[in-house]
Amino acid sequence: MSPFQILQLPNGQTIGNRIAKAAMEENLADLEQAPGAALYRLYQAWAEGGAGLLLTGNVMIDRRAMTGPGGVVLEDERHLQRFRQWATIGRAGGAQFWMQLNHPGRQTQANLGQQAWAPSAVAMDLGSFSKMFAEPKPMTENDIEEVIQRFATSAVLAEKAGFTGVQIHAAHGYLLSQFLSPLTNRRTDQWGGSLENRARLLLSVIEAVRQAVSPDFCVSVKLNSADFQRGGFDTDDARQVIEWLNEQAIDLLELSGGSYEAPAMQGEARDGRTLAREAYFLEMASELAGVARMPVMVTGGIRRRAVVEQVLDSGVAMAGIATALAVEPGLVKQWREGTDSHPQLPPIRWKRKPLAALASMAVVRFQIQRLSRGGKPHPKVSAVWALILDQLYIGRRTRQYRRAMNT
């Protein structure tokens, strides 16, 4: 199938082609955790690049719960005009522009000085890197209800700002994903135990968001096809959750996989499963797409048009591209014009997997930061150098965040 066919969504909206700029964590908010000049320049590059759908990186629903110190927060109207400007830029090329909404749960960095919330008191297991994350506190019923309301509030504000949809992040080991996994959810109340109970928070968030926004505003979900950890959320669980999602008014389901503990979204899996270098989750996603009534998108390592076509021919409706668009933001436009580009970053094969995962993210963020300053990517940057720069930047942003939260 051609990547340049229009996709009709369940709510009547359309996406101009079958390629999405998938979410990447930019960590480029201004000092008030709002979008500013850096994000505007970055998304101008992507808006001009030709993808039919642009997904933001993590936008947090609570400034006390951050995936990183430079993250964007949308919890009230205080910076709504800046979000309006961001939405205008993202939509300038005709793409759908959706905001990814997230809560980190236990994947909260300890040095941010905030209490980590989680379904249960199960700490991160990353060997010597475990201490980088805050000790999680089990959420009360009131905490859970507050999170549901915060997702809905942020979605309403996103619509008010001019975004055309939201994506609810229930993958990669963040809070909603933690509730889904029996490894991290050991509750015995209505929010834990059976898969039906573990999925209750995700379904409650979707219902609250859908009721709070307009019918023609797009609501999507990002779900793990598997956690790639033994005893965790697996493909059979994903299949059942998708059947429940079929009963919700969802416009697109993105399938990915992994978490901080098993970063399969970067091509690695702790359980030893061999993953393809491109379209990591395609085999599982194409199988799960047969269960889903809504369009399905698969993300993970795609960088060639031939692989996009393979994804679409498998029954998946959209291909999500992340890293390749950080290296070449105009990739989709090049493909449309007949250029066979396939940008990539050199693989990082360090023995210490958590450190390699940090370096991989640092190299991608290095490209993103260059784009945000109006420059060109530098794919051959040293992974060590990118990691050093990234850690220095995160350290500075962490100090700024802590000062802001203490005033």
pLDDT in tens, 42-83: 999 999 999 999 999 999 999 999 999 999 999 999 999 999
CATH assignment of the domain containing 270: 3.20.20.70
pLDDT at 276: 43
Q: What 3-state class would DSSP assign to 180?
A: helix
pLDDT digits (tens, 9 = 90+) for 235-272: 899 999 999 999 999 999 999 876 776 654 444 433 33
Residue 94 is predicted with a pLDDT of 97
**Kind and range of the H or E run holding 63:** none
Task: Pick the closest to residue 159 from 92, 75, 78, 87 (CA basis).
Answer: 87
- In the prediction, which pLDDT does 231 show? 78
Asked if residue 374 belongs to a domain, the reply is no
Q: In this structure, is residue 50 part of a structural domain?
A: yes
Q: Alpha carbon 399 to chain centroid distance?
A: 25
Residues with Cβ within 8 Å of 106's Cβ and at least 6 positions away in sequence, in order, are: 116, 117, 118, 122, 123, 124, 133, 134, 136, 175, 178, 184
Confirm if 232 and 226 have CB atoms less than 8 A apart: yes
Question: Is 187 buried (19+), middle (13-18) or exposed (0-12) by CB count in 10 A?
Answer: middle
Per-residue confidence (pLDDT) for residue 285, from 0 to 100: 81
CB half-sphere exposure, 151, CA atoms < 13 A: 31
CB 147 within 8 A of CB 372: no
pLDDT given for residue 232 in this prediction? 82
Residue 380, in any domain of the structure: no
Burial per residue of 283-301, b for 16 or more beta-carbon CB atoms within 10 angstroms, e otherwise: ebbbbbbebbebbbbbbbb
Q: Looking at residue 262, what is its pLDDT?
A: 60
Helix (H) or strand (E) holding 270: none
For residue 306, tell me if it sits in a domain: yes
Nearest C-alpha neighbor of 260 from the set 367, 397, 118, 385: 118
| DSSP letter string, 272-318 | -----SSSTTHHHHHHHHTT-SS-EEEESS---HHHHHHHHHTT-SE
Residues of the chain with pLDDT under 70: 228, 258, 261-281
Q: Is residue 367 part of a domain?
A: no
The distance of Cα 366 from the centroid of its chain, to the nearest Å, equals 18
Under 8 Å CB-to-CB from 204, ≥6 apart: which residues?
Answer: 148
Q: Which residues contact 395 (CB under 8 A, 6 or more apart)?
A: none
Q: Which domain holds residue 48?
A: 7-345
360 belongs to a structural domain:
no
Domains held by the chain: number: 1
Closest by CA position to 332, among listed 220, 90, 23, 322 = 322
136-138/116-118 β-pairing: parallel
Nearest-angstrom CA–CA distance, 291 and 293: 7
Question: Which pTM was predicted?
Answer: 0.94
Alpha-helical segments (H) within 108-221: 141-161, 175-180, 195-198, 200-212
Strand partners, 296: 253
The answer as to whether 354 is a domain residue is no
The answer to the question of residue 258 being in a domain is yes
Half-sphere exposure of 219 (CA within 13 A, CB side): 24
Measured between alpha carbons, how far is 266 from 354 in angstroms, rounded to an integer? Answer: 11
